[in-house]
Amino acid sequence: MYIDASRAQAAALRKLGRAVILAIESSCDETAAAVIRDGREILSNVVSTQIPLHARYGGVVPEIASRAHVEAVNAVVDVALEGAGMTFGDIDAIAVTHGPGLVGALLVGVSTAKALAFALDKPLIPTHHIDAHISANYLAHAQLEPPFVCLVVSGGHTHIVQTAEYGVYRLLGQTLDDAAGEAFDKAARVLGLPYPGGPALDELAELGDPTALRLPRPKTENPYDFSFSGLKTAFIQLMRGSAPPPRTKRDEVPHPVMRGSAPPPRTKRDEVPHTVMRDSAPPPRTKRDEVPHTVKRKGLLDGIRPEDAAASFREAVCETLVDKLIRAAHFVRASNGGMAVPIALAGGVAANRRLRALLAREASREGMTIYMPPLSLCTDNAAMVGAAAFYRMMRGDIADMSLNAEPTLPLPIG
């Protein structure tokens, strides 16, 4: 029986405390595979991005994502094995993200992982996408171990969790409406920026004045929860001119000095150090490219520079994130008998320049230790899945062939 053999193998690997894991990630718009040793060492890390396929629609189209995953997944797995200098025979276990995410997209990774695990007679390790994002930190920081407090900020999630032990979390706060990445993406659309909006807004914001617009700092009943919809609406109304024009810096300094001569900032995509596969040709230009699903720039309120708007919005989001994370870390310290725990950052929005800088500044001011993944491990990848899966298997958590995609899989709370 497959499951008996796989349980026996997983038990043997637990005893050794070692495993080479082939991990697969396909929860959204990146098809990824990686080979990870002992949860900490990246032997290969391959990401095939679908961004060019979705860009013309201004967001991820689930059917297109599923089909692109099907087309890419086998090649991505092959390249990951090749990059690690391995064959299937060298792999101890197969890991896969089975939720949360787009059901059709998840299914591609889950089916592939099940087929591989069954054919190779190896343990199958189900992995939670957010657990994986948090575990990206283990790959970059050998000394990091639970307990620590982590802010997870991605396109679909904004959580502050206390990592009690590997893969077991206590929820301290979460967004009540939009996720931070979602808020960035929506604000970027209003500014007419291309998908994915978060990195584009981040880049534009580098040239702007963060004090130009007065935007609200969201308040919530639980001090560690978030709410970005009010801020987003205020921003959209302001930009469309349906709110009274705010006092801006421009009122005081009519000709702001532009810092536009600086070279364009590097993006997370430039920094992926491992093999990056990209879907070859960009999609053919169509009429749709000229009329993207965004509010046209000319609809923006006159007199507000887009870079100032971007910088002001980014500042409001990042200040809120950092403020709540630092408060949560204080709370955990107090409930820990005064013992400080480190802070970590995870998820796609963790690539945001201002968020990283602000957190570094505030943490050093508070004497707190912080860990952030390198930019290449912030957005979706399979290396993080291999890291989370290692600790999951060490806890004896493996799946059988009934494993399914779980689009709304809740975070493992302990």
Full DSSP string of 55-98:
HTTTS--HHHHHHHHHHHHHHHHHHHHHHHT--GGG--EEEEEE
Nearest CA to 224 out of 320, 348, 85, 111 is that of 320
DSSP three-state, residue 94:
strand
Please report how close the Cβ of residue 66 comes to ligand KG4 at its closest, in angstroms: 16
Among residues 30, 178, 380, 406, the one that binds Zn ion under rule CB under 5 A: 380
Tell me, by CB under 5 A, how many residues bind Zn ion. 2
Among residues 197, 210, 306, 373, the one that binds ligand KG4 under rule CB under 6 A: 197
Q: Who contacts 227 (Cβ-Cβ below 8 Å, separation ≥6)?
A: 175, 176, 177, 218, 219, 220
Q: What phi, psi does 88 have (nearest 5°)?
A: -55, -30
Please report how close the Cβ of residue 256 comes to Zn ion at its closest, in angstroms: 36
- Rounded Cα distance between 309 and 235, Å, is 8
Asked if 121 and 5 count as a contact pair (C-beta separation under 8 A), the reply is: yes
Q: What angle do CA 355, 253, 245 make, to 5 degrees?
A: 75
Among residues 48, 154, 158, 312, the one that binds Zn ion under rule CB under 5 A: 154
Identify which range of 8-16, 52-60, 82-90, 150-158 contacts Zn ion by CB under 5 A: 150-158
Among residues 109, 146, 199, 218, the one that binds ligand KG4 under rule CB under 6 A: 199
Please report how close the Cβ of residue 150 comes to Zn ion at its closest, in angstroms: 14
Among residues 184, 226, 313, 371, the one that binds ligand KG4 under rule CB under 6 A: 184
Tell me, by CB under 6 A, how many residues bind ligand KG4. 20
Q: Which helix (H) or strand (E) holds 260?
A: none
- Rounded Cα distance between 375 and 371, Å, is 12
Asked if 138 and 36 count as a contact pair (C-beta separation under 8 A), the reply is: no
Asked if 332 and 228 count as a contact pair (C-beta separation under 8 A), the reply is: no
DSSP three-state, residue 169:
strand
Find the radius of gyration of the CA atoms of the chain: 22
Q: What phi, psi does 59 have (nearest 5°)?
A: 180, 175
Cβ nearer to ligand KG4, comparing 123 with 347:
347
Among residues 124, 215, 234, 349, the one that binds ligand KG4 under rule CB under 6 A: 349
Residue 25 makes contact with Zn ion by CB under 5 A: no
For the window 12-31, what string marks contact with ligand KG4 as x by the rule CB under 6 A? ----------------x---
For the window 241-280, what string marks contact with ligand KG4 as x by the rule CB under 6 A? ---------------------------x------------
Residue 156 makes contact with ligand KG4 by CB under 6 A: yes
Asked if 409 and 133 count as a contact pair (C-beta separation under 8 A), the reply is: no
Residue 83 makes contact with ligand KG4 by CB under 6 A: no
Residue 403 makes contact with ligand KG4 by CB under 6 A: no
Residue 181 makes contact with ligand KG4 by CB under 6 A: yes
Nearest CA to 183 out of 196, 165, 172, 164 is that of 196
For the window 334-373, what string marks contact with Zn ion as x by the rule CB under 5 A? ----------------------------------------
Instruction: Report the interface residues with ligand KG4, using CB under 6 A.
Output: 28, 154-156, 181, 184-185, 196-199, 202, 268, 347-349, 351-352, 379-380
